Amino acid sequence: MGQQQLLLIVLGVIIVGIAIVVGISMFKSSAVDANRSAIASDLANLASKAQRYYRTPVELGGGGQKFDNFALSTLDRSNPNGTYGWGTTDGGAGFTGLTGTAGTDYIFIYAVGTEKASVGGQTQFVAAVALVTPDKVEIKQGWIPEATGNTFKADVTSNTNTNGQTTSFSGFTAQ
């Protein structure tokens, strides 16, 4: 083979390699975006269930105008999109203007997705927090450190956790 043919082969291999790297990067970015959208949709659904519980009379198994004793079923705590729990703190999301008592007048539903990305030089899970009140739902999307996310997932899915309530959601950074 001539030198020109070898040069063209090497150039072709380099171009194909760059195309593969760019394709992988685009796929990863798309997977993170899709996971972010999926957990936001799941949070909206779970928030709707929480509001339904709030409005249902105690005699019919609801909260009777309170979020007291709200629970996520075992099926609601995990799916292919992520892991879900609830609690009375925002985990660092920074919701403001809250009135009333957490756990009675409003709750937070947390989501930790399945996709990870490097954010600020640290591996983090896709995450979101929903503030649920009787009248509205506000969702903030962002990131949670990998170690904290793994602790949250273990806490919510453990056999000792009977209602999905957790205090292990922390370190949330809004996007």
Encode pLDDT of 69-128 as tens digits: 999 998 999 999 999 999 999 888 888 888 889 889 999 999 999 999 888 889 999 999
Mean pLDDT of all residues belonging to the chain: 91
Q: What order do you get walking across the sheet with 137-145 strand by strand?
A: 78-79, 82-87, 107-119, 122-132, 137-145, 173-174
The dihedral over CA atoms of 21, 24, 29, 34, expressed in degrees to the nearest 10, equals: 170
pLDDT, residue 130, reads 95
pLDDT single digits (tens) 20-44: 998 888 888 889 999 999 999 999 9
Q: What is the reported pLDDT for 29?
A: 80
Q: Encode burial over 72-90: b for 16+ CB neighbours within 10 A, e otherwise.
A: beeebbbeebbbbbbbeeb
Which residues have C-beta within 8 Å of that of residue 151, sequence separation ≥ 6? 168
Predicted pLDDT of residue 1: 66
For residue 9, the surrounding DSSP H or E stretch is: helix 3-55
pLDDT tens track for 116-171: 988 888 999 999 999 999 999 999 999 999 999 999 988 888 767 678 888 888 88
Buried b (16+ CB within 10 A) or exposed e, 29-66: eebbeebbebbbebbeebbeebbebbeeeeeeebbeeb
Q: How far apart are CA 50 and CA 6, in angstroms?
A: 66
